[in-house]
Amino acid sequence: MDQRTAESSYGVPGELLTPPLSWSLAGLRKAWNQAKPQVAPWWPEVSKEAFNTGLDALARGLKNWAGSRTGTRAGRPVGFPRFKSRRRTTPSVRFTTGSIRVEPDRMHVVLPRLGRLKLHESARKLARRLDLGTARIMSATVRRDRGRWHVSFTVEVERAEHIPARPASVVGVDVGIKTLAVLSTGELIDNPRHLVAAQQRMRSLARALSRKTGPDRRTGRRPSKRWEQAAARLGGAHTRVSNLRRDGLHKLTTRLTREHHTIVVEDLNVTGMLRNRRLARHIADAGFAEIRRQLAYKTGWNGGRLLIADRWYASSKTCSACGTVKAKLALSEREYHCQACGLIIDRDRNAALNLAALAAQFDTAGSGPVAGRGADQKPRTRGQVATKRQPGTTPVG
């Protein structure tokens, strides 16, 4: 690309410019097959999937960069692909071809080039589906995370149709820091705050690590054995917090999707919320975005639906009894006091009830959007209906 840009600046005609390379995976693989005897004469010693994994990541990175420049890709601007760091990146490789199977004892798997590997956990759930013919392995990814090797399978599964335990149930879910989730049914889900609970131990491990002789890239100094051991202990503490958080969120979202048919949540600006330096750690520990991500695909698995309320919908400022909207509601006000009807209710419970009420508006509108109060609109008074500014509620799954 730099060569073509330089040639263009010199006035070289388009037909005489250096031929461009294809950015597709097939084109990159073809170029690699032509160059690998010279640049990597040791390539037959490892699996071809090691190179294919990198080429696939490069193809997706180039596509995202080009789409970001032309405006065809939504989201944040994406820069030009860069080489991964061997120090900070999780080593991984994805196998898409070759012999990939689970052994009959269900404690071993066979992967290309690596051969027969023993598992720490039984693969009986996957083996049962494979034996019944309701699943087919598409690929296997091996990665090293916090000193442990993991293998994950991408599987095409034939899922039976599921119906929630309460097919007519509608629940609004208001997430927060003090309480992880407040349901419109009145149930409160406590926030375990795993990171806060482990903070003292992690600080102690970090101080112990700082006293060891670590690596220095400027002088080329290698870390001492004790530094590596201390770093492994600190990494293990972080891994435990991550595993506890993931386990709790999976149990919560699985229970909600199996019990309720319609779940309504808010479209929170988590990225903007993380800019608050006083609450960023607690917001990240709660995992707001992960809750919505898991609800999105689990509602489809269990025959339900997920509705996303508009980001500017005033769920906390709106009275769940009469519909009056307050102009201001400080974060320190934990109870909602309605001046119109006299309702006194917990603000999070009030928000959850308003979210659950949006499901009726969606059913009335059919496949259209549900109105949400836009940022350029004044709060509506009692008896008024919010106007439609942009899609407020979208079904997922």
158 is catalytic: no
Structure tokens at 376: 């350029």
Residue of 49, 285, 310, 348 marked catalytic = 348
Residue of 49, 266, 285, 310 marked catalytic = 266
Strand order of the sheet with strand 260-266?
A: 188-190, 179-183, 166-175, 260-266, 305-309, 395-396
Q: Give CA–CA dist 232/20, Å, rounded.
A: 45
Structure tokens at 163: 């119906």
Residue of 49, 121, 174, 216 marked catalytic = 174
R_g (Cα) of the chain, nearest Å: 27
Residue for token pair 């070759």: 98
Q: Give CA–CA dist 92/85, Å, rounded.
A: 13
Contact 171, 185 (CB under 8 A): yes
279 Cβ contact list (under 8 Å, min separation 6): 177, 273
Structure tokens at 122: 């039984």
Q: Give CA–CA dist 291/102, Å, rounded.
A: 31
348 is catalytic: yes
Contact 370, 310 (CB under 8 A): yes
* CA 67 and chain centroid, separation: 21
Structure tokens at 299: 């509602």
236 Cβ contact list (under 8 Å, min separation 6): 146, 147
344 Cβ contact list (under 8 Å, min separation 6): 335, 336, 337, 338
Beta pairing class for 166-175 and 305-309: unpaired
146 Cβ contact list (under 8 Å, min separation 6): 232, 235, 236, 238, 239
Contact 296, 349 (CB under 8 A): no
131 is catalytic: no
Give φ, ψ of 143 to 5 degrees. Answer: -145, 155
Q: Give CA–CA dist 131/388, Å, rounded.
A: 52
Give catalytic residues, as residue numbers: 174, 266, 348
